[in-house]
Amino acid sequence: MIRRKFLQSAGMAAVGLGWKGGFVEESVSSAVAGSAAAGALQLGLAGYTFLHVPLDQGIAMMKRVGVNALSIKDFYLPLDSDGAKVQEVKEKFTSAGLKIYAAGVIYMKTQQEVDRAFEYAKLLGIDMIVGVPNPELLSYTEQKVKAYNIRVAIHNHGPEDKLYPSPVDVYEHIKGLDSRIGLCLDIGHAARAGADPVEVIGKYSSRLFDMHIKDLSVIVRESKTINLGRGVLDIPGVIKALKKIKYAGYCSIEHELDMNDPLPGVAESVGYFRGVDRVVG
């Protein structure tokens, strides 16, 4: 199953036309619809991808690559936004046929920041925060989870992170807490921290709420991310493991390679993921 076949089966030829001025949006839509009909995994984008991209341009990029779900970051919608601002931003996505499925990553170092995160999620009308509450705040976070019925998916940030370097560290902190506190598994950071993403998916499946999908050029602590399929992570194995556990959450691509011009890398990664998804299917 060579990489070219993956890209072709995902409709990347149609995406490629978009870079040359003749984008055929219907072709991408057809590829997406066919993939969904075959029981494909849900594909999203992690908001950090758009760090240097204005909101309207980010929405346009999502439409061009046929991805309709975003975990929003606060540079698009500040955490202290009032109801009117939240509705304004939500409407931009809704009117474009897109959805905000989660918010984060949100860091929570005080009880006040935990409170703010849950109020923010409530205003957005979402049922999940991708967050990093300090370990000493987990008991308080659990109280908020019960009060709001909003899940918290704790994100692992790699060996540099003193709180949750690995998904194993996350699980050890949350295993005795409410089942609505779980994992946002970042497969790149997990691998850099010495964890096998495929094993993590199987072992912690009941607490796996969200995925950040990326690739690495080499599995070392200092490794940088790269477009899906160009690196060494076992993306087919990850997809196969997710299908085995009947994962129902989003697989959100997080592109960090060229953040001033993410469209080519996002499109390539989306195409590769969808192609592998079909073949593994």
Q: What pLDDT does residue 2 have? A: 45
Alpha-helical segments (H) within 12-110: 12-19, 25-37, 55-65, 83-95
Tens digits of per-residue pLDDT, 237-258?
A: 999 999 999 999 999 999 999 9
> The CATH number of the domain where 250 resides is what?
3.20.20.150
Nearest CA-CA partner of 14 in 27, 31, 29: 27
Confidence of residue 167 (pLDDT cuts 50, 70, 90): very high
Percent of the chain with pLDDT over 90: 85
| Dist. CA 114–CA 96, nearest whole Å | 31
Task: Say how many domains are in the chain.
Answer: 1
Residue 109 structure tokens: 């170092």
3-state secondary structure of 103: strand
Pairwise CA distance, residues 219 & 232, whole Å: 7
CA count, 13 A, side-chain hemisphere, 240: 8
DSSP 168-190: HHHHHHHTTS-TTEEEEEEHHHH
Quick one: tokens of 170? 């996350």
At residue 281 the predicted structure's pLDDT band, cuts being 50, 70 and 90, is confident
Q: Token pair for residue 268? A: 């390539």
CA distance 104 to 153: 9
Q: What mean pLDDT comes out for the span 271-280?
A: 96
User: Minimal CA–CA distance to 214: which of 245, 252, 250?
Assistant: 252
Would you say 268 and 12 are in contact if contact means Cβ atoms under 8 Å apart? yes
Q: Whole-prediction pTM value?
A: 0.88
pLDDT, mean of residues 149-156: 98
- DSSP β-ladder status, 69-72 and 42-46: parallel
Q: Which two tokens stand for residue 6?
A: 């993956």
Q: Which residue has the higher pLDDT, 26 or 95?
A: 95
Full residue range of the structural domain in which residue 127 is found: 3-280
Decide if pLDDT at 22 tops 70: no
Total residues found in the chain within this entry: 281
CB 150 within 8 A of CB 122: yes
Mean pLDDT of 9-30: 40
Look at residue 39 in the predicted model and tell me its pLDDT.
79
How many CA atoms within 13 Å lie on the side-chain side of 67? 33
Average pLDDT value for residue range 185-194: 98
In this structure, the number of other CB atoms found within 10 A of the CB of residue 258 comes to 13
Using the predicted structure, report yes or no on whether residue 30 has a pLDDT greater than 90.
no
- What SS3 string covers 238-271? HHHHHHHCCCCCEEEECCCCCCCCCHHHHHHHHH
How far, in Å, CA of 47 to CA of 42, rounded? Answer: 16
